[in-house]
Amino acid sequence: MLKGNAILGQSGGPTSVINSSLAGIITAAKNFTGIKNVLGMRFGIEGFMAENIINLGAESQATIKGLKTTPSSSLGSCRYKLKDCDLPKVLDTLKKYDIRYVFLTGGNDTMDTICRLEKFAARNKYELIGIGVPKTVDNDLFGTDHTPGYPSAARFTALSVMQAGVLARDMRKVDQFVVYQSIGREAGWLPAASAIAKKHSSDAPHILCLPERAFNKEKFLAEVKKTYDNFGFVSIVCGEGIAYADKTPVSASQTKDKFSNIEFGAMGGTSAAMALHRMIADEFGFRGEFQITESLPMSAADRAVKLDIDEAFMAGSAAVRLAAAGKTGLMITLERQKGKEYKCFTGSVALTEVAVKAKPMPDKFISKNGFYVTNAFLDYIRPLVGDLPEYVKLEAKKFNLKSLKSF
What are the catalytic residues?
A: 138
Q: How far apart are CA 43 and CA 182, in angstroms?
A: 26
How many C-beta atoms lie closer than 10 Å to residue 364's C-beta? 11
The residue type of 225 is K
The CA–CA distances, whole Å, from 159 to 34, 120, 154 equal 44, 45, 9
Residues 246-260, buried b or exposed e (16+ Cβ, 10 A)?
Answer: eeebbbebeeeeeee
Output 85-89 pairs: Cβ under 8 A, ≥24 positions apart: 86/49, 87/116, 87/117, 87/120, 89/49
* Angle between helix 150-170 and 375-385 (nearest 10): 110
Q: How far apart are CA 243 and CA 252, in angstroms?
A: 9
Spatial CA neighbour of 175 closest among 219, 232, 237: 232
Q: How far apart are CA 42 and CA 113, in angstroms?
A: 16
Q: How far apart are CA 163 and CA 337, in angstroms?
A: 32
In a 3-state reduction of DSSP, which class is residue 249? strand
Spatial CA neighbour of 21 closest among 58, 68, 78, 77: 68
Helix residue ranges per DSSP H, 285-406: 296-299, 306-324, 375-385
The CA–CA distances, whole Å, from 35 to 29, 113, 206 equal 6, 22, 52
* Angle between helix 217-231 and 272-284 (nearest 10): 70
Spatial CA neighbour of 40 closest among 112, 119, 97: 97
Q: How far apart are CA 346 and CA 330, in angstroms?
A: 12
